[in-house]
Every structure is written in structure tokens, then in C-alpha cells.
Structure 1
Amino acid sequence: MHIEQKTNKVKKAEKKQRRSLAIIKADCNVSQSDSPTLYLAILNVGLSNGLSEEALLTAAAATGGQVSQVLMLPSKSYCFLMCTTLADAQLVYDGMHNRATIGQKGAVAYLSYVLELPQQREENGWQKPLPGGLVLLPDFVSEAEEAALLEAIAVGTASPTDSLKHRQVKHFGYEFLYGSNNVNPLQPLEQGIPAACNFMWERLELPAFEPPDQLTVNEYEAGQGIPPHVDTHSAFKDPILSLSLQSDVVMDFRRGDQLVHVLLPRRSLLVMSGESRYDWTHGIRPKHIDVVATPSGSLTTQARSKRTSLTFRRLRRGPCDCQYPTLCDTQQTATPQERYASHTLATSCRVPELF
């Protein structure tokens, strides 16, 4: 009886494989391989029926195999993996095929080796160079300094009006007005940036650096994020500094169809200047688990925990004269004559990027 049940299970899996492979062949012109390859198709689970990249990588990691690329196609009930080595692919296949319960309502996943990935393969945002002017400084503050900073900013004392839908927020120096994405330079707050932050400016050693006069503190619970945005050009100067405390997180930078993932380690400082400050949006996806790249280039998952970010800015007293008009509020609202005059001034007084 046991042998008969096992045989039926294998036959069912083979039937599912044949049917799903025919669909994938018609959709993507991807063919099955009779022998192991680096490429695996998950035949019956994808974005359209609720599979997340994080859940897929968690299941793959449980087999002991390493994955270097995940390809999930919009509105499809299948997806693909590229493994680091042939041995990794075999581990993932043997450990997941007809075993991993990652389908809807705990349904098992069916896998197959394939000869290639689809031509519409998504770009890997982990393999891209950082946007120009973006610098990440790991371990910028020590654990003791982290504790002192958290005590100095005391987010827990924020008033109810300082609570946004996706996070707790507190301002120092000037209030950032989320309705207009701006500040009122004529209305400084009573509480300036805490003196506990001052040690960081000497540590930065930036040329012609003006210490910030505005600080926004955001406290994120695991799973919370912030939509893609660019800090208003006319409101703040260059650079913008972001210090991550208590937890790592992945931040996405986008410009047009370009996407770059940046892992912000706990206690790191991110410096956004030049192109990265003015011409790219940045945001954090709302999720509990991040997909991150390992030193070897493979992908894995990393759980988030409560995170506090300190964003330091310097107010701009006047219109923006940057070289990046696409996201510039000053240049988008200016007349053609004003834009020409601003461009002429900017190019004649060009200041090099900080990095």
C-alpha cells in the first residue's frame, strides 16, 4: 500500500511537470533539461498565486543549496532560480521538488531543470555599481555611540502629531512638513540637533562641509517602509546623511528603469551627494524579510527588526541650481528664461561632488 501511494505521488508530480513545462515553453520559449543544469523552474508557484521571493529563498536555503539569481515574472504562476553551482542546483531540486510546501494552502512545489532563463530576465539590482555620489560608511558609530544617540533623540517622547501611518517620527531644528515635502525656514523648533551628534561631523572629514541644521528621526517597526522619493531640491543642500541604528535594511535607488539595491548595515552612515542626492529616488519596501546578497554573490534572506534612522540635512536658503532637472522642483516650475539663467550659473560655478 505504501509503495502504491508513493508511485501515485510520483506520477502526479510527473503529470504536473509535463503540463506546466508546456505552458512555460509557450510563454517564455524555455525548454526542459533531462540532466541537471544551473537553472531551475518552479513550475506551479509564482507571483500570481502568492509566492514571495523571500519565501522561495528561505525554502531553497533549507536544502543547503545556494541561489545566485531569482526571476519572478508578473502575473505568472511559475518562477525561476539560477544556482551558484551544479551541486547547489541538485541540492535545491532534490530538497524542494514534490517536497517544499510553498504553494497556496501548503501545496507542494514541482520543479524542473531548464536549459536557460527567459529572455526577459530581470536585472540583478545587487550587481550594479552605486549611483554617483553615493557612499556607504559601515560601522560609522560604535555600539556605545549608538546607545548614546538613541537616548539623546528619545523617539518615545514624540507627540501624537509626530506619528505617521508607516512610522514614528521626530524632528529637530526644523520640522519637515510632509504635506508639502518642505520646511519653513522662518519657524525653527525650540530643540535643535542634540549635541550628542556633533562628534560625527569631524569624523566625516568632508571638504567644505556645513554641519546640518535639521534632523528627522524615523522609527520603523519590522515590516514598515517608505515610498520612493527624492528629498526636495529647493528645501535642502547637498549632502544628505542617513544613519541607520538598531537594524539592517535594504534601500532601493531608482532612476528611470535603473534599480540598485543597497544594504544599509546597522550603525552605518549613508552619504547622498551629487547625482544620488538629486537624480535618483530612494525608498524602502514594506516587508519583514529582506533579500540580500552574500559576499559570494548568492542571494539569501535576512529578517528585519525595529530600526531607527537619523536623516541629517542642511536647509537651502533659496532656489536650487543643480544640474539635475528631472526631479528638481525649482527647475520644473521655472520659466524657460529662468531655467537657462540657472543652468548658466550652475555650469559656470560647478562644485565637484564630495566623493
Structure 2
Amino acid sequence: MDLLPHDLDQALLVGRVWRSSPHQGPALVVIRQGEVLDISASCNCMADLLDRDDAASFSASVSGESLGSVETLLDNSLTDPQRGPYLLAPCDVQAIKACGVTFAVSLLERVIEEQAGGDPGRAGELRAELNEVIGQDLSRIAPGSTDAMALKRALQERGAWSQYMEVGLGPDAEVFTKAQPLSAVGFGAAVGLHPASQWNNPEPEIVLAVDAYGHAKGATLGNDVNLRDIEGRSALLLGKAKDNNASCAIGPFIRLFDERFTLDAIREAQVSMHIEGADDGFVLDGTSDMREISRDPLDLVEQTIGAHHQYPDGFMLFLGTMFSPIEDRDGRGQGFTHHLGDTVTITTPTLGTLINRVDRSDRLPPWTFGIRQWQAHLSRRQGA
């Protein structure tokens, strides 16, 4: 499996690792010619690096302490973090935001969740009913357009309008807070499901790294773990459905935009996902084609930051997914849900691969390294 970009020798990769010595805590790294270089002495944090006008050229030339090969780092992260440095999520103090309902397929599945009230057994019947009512390809309708507003009126008259259709077809995108700064987990770590959830799935997505000025400076992969039953009971439970211990995975690295890798590569990307069950041999594959997204990535950035809202530390922005698995796993008509121990692999050739296993949020190590601990770590390192 290719864990790194297919054009690694041309990719500007930056990330974060946890070091046990000489100063236990996170370190900023770049990958150069297969070597991991700790550049913390030259740049305090990822937010600072991304805010630089010369972020790409700086990352390509800055010197740093060698931490060994990137292959060893990936292996440590997957198998035994105690052996040496291991990968963290590549963001630090940035806000972590996410966009919902940006693909037609995910729009229909959100409506199904809502109308099913969190009951997966009703999903198949509702899916057939909705397809009959809508009767057209929603991916061909631009959000906020005249056609979208005409469809809205028609669906309202038939009593089939939904708050999810409002954000999927209306002028305003859904942008929500997925997780707190410093709370996301990285490549190789476990992702968590709230113990109350019985219907859930991964959401493989591309994540933009946006600086404090609203400029998209790079991209990475993410898993926006989704609890379908909890959000389906009420959209007001979105916070409980989305933001739990270890429920957000990002990585393995941020690839910085340059003349070889631009936003157009994201617009054309295909994101593949492979789920493999540990207890039942279940295997599921799916693909999200970014060419089918209903809103351009820059439109989503502009709806997140501007005169109406500032992010002085920048932000990470999940762009949404078209992957909503409906294959039956535990019984006819029950659809897909995770089993503990599942391995989720998300990949796209230009960004590499993000691998995480699935466990319960209350059984995983609690999140304890917050802003105050990070500040104390910086103070110790700078005072050494």
C-alpha cells in the first residue's frame, strides 16, 4: 500500500510528531527525500508555518534535526508508538471545521437519517420513497440556483422538504465545528464512537489547511466520524454526533500547495476508502469523486471566513463526502454500521493514506493535551 503521495519526491509535506525526548511533546516536521526533519527550532507551530507568505519555499529549504526515515515514522505510528516518534494530526491551534451535505448522495442519506429518526431498519423503505418523490439527479442542480429554488417549492408543496435539503440545495452551506484545536488524532491512532451509538459510519474527506487570512495553503485527508442514529434523532444533536473523544482523524501530513500541486488537484481528486472488519471479515470499498461536489472548495472557504467571521489561528476545513454506506452488514435491511476493531483506510494518490482503527470514545485514552499544556511545552523547549 502506498502510504505517501505517489510523487513523493515532488511533494512538500509538513506535519507533527510526538517526541519522548529531549522535550516530551509535539514537534513540527517536514519530509525531505524520505527523511523526517524536526524544524521546531525555526517555527513554533503549524499555524505559524501556514501563515507565512513563503510557506512552501520555507518548508523546502529550512534545516532541522533528523528523526530518521518517514517509513519508520509511519511504522511506529501504526504498530508501536513507544519505539520512537509517532504521527499526530498535522494541525495544532487551528479551529477544526467541517462542511456537511456537499454531495447529492450524502444529502439523500441525511434526509433518510432525519425521517428514520435514528432507526436503521427504516432506511431502505425511506430511500425508495425519496427517490420516487425527487425523481431527478440532484448532483446536476447548483445550490442556490433558480432550478434549486424551484425544486424547493415543489418539495415543500409535497411535504418532502428537509433542513438537510436547505443546506444541500440552498445558498448557504452547512459549516460546523467538528472538533477542538489539538483534539484530532493522527495516522495510526484509533478513532472513537460514542458508546450510545448503534448506527454509525466513517466519512472520508479531503481537508483544506487554511491560514488566518482565508488562503487555502495545503490539503490532507480526514475521517469525520459520523453517528447516524444520534444526528438522525435531531439535527440539534449534531455536536454529540460529531465531537467526541478521538472522533476526528486528520493526516498523515499536510501537502502544501505549490506550482506542481494546486487546488485543481483537489477539485479532480478521487478519495477511496476501505473498511475491514476484525471480527466478521466484512470488507467494504467506496469512492468519493470530488468532481461531484456541489460547491467549489473555495466557495466553502469563503462561507467560513470573511468579514462575518475571523479565524486568527487559521482553520482546517473538511470538504464533505459522498460516501454513505448502505450495504447490509448485520442483517437484511439494517445497512452498514461499524464494529469495534474495524480498520478504516482512506487514500488518494496526491495526499497518501490515512489509517485508523475503530473503538469506543470512552475506552480510548482521554484527550488531555490542550492549549495550556501546549503553551507549557513551548516554554520548556524555548527555555532549554
Give yes or no for TM over 0.5. no
Mark the structure with the bigger radius of gyration.
Answer: 1
TM-score, length of structure 1 as denominator length: 0.28
